[in-house]
Amino acid sequence: MFGLENQKNKKNETFVFELEKELKVPKKHAEIKKNAEAKLLKIKGKLRDGESKEDYEQWGVLVYGYVALLKVMSRFGPK
């Protein structure tokens, strides 16, 4: 009832994020890493140029996000 019929079967399965699945493929891992590093460099360049204060804070949040992504990717290498 309400989509919970197979709940017992799903307890044994572990949840895996789509990003985890993609990072297992070496080619995809390298592509995602290259893309994230390129965007990070682009954002850092904008921060160095000197945007307005409101934009500066938003760009800073994006920098933290991309740095976190790269840190996770370094710990979760391709297999």
CA distance 40 to 65: 9
Tens of pLDDT, residues 3-35: 666 666 556 678 888 888 888 889 999 999 999
Segments making up each domain of the chain, as ranges: 22-75
Sign for the pseudo-dihedral over CA of 71, 62, 48, 53: negative
Name which residue leads in pLDDT, 10 or 53. 53
What's the mean pLDDT in 32-41?
Answer: 95
* Per-residue confidence (pLDDT) for residue 35, from 0 to 100: 96
What pLDDT does 13 receive?
Answer: 76
| Angle, CA 32 vertex, CA 43 and CA 27 arms, to 5° | 150
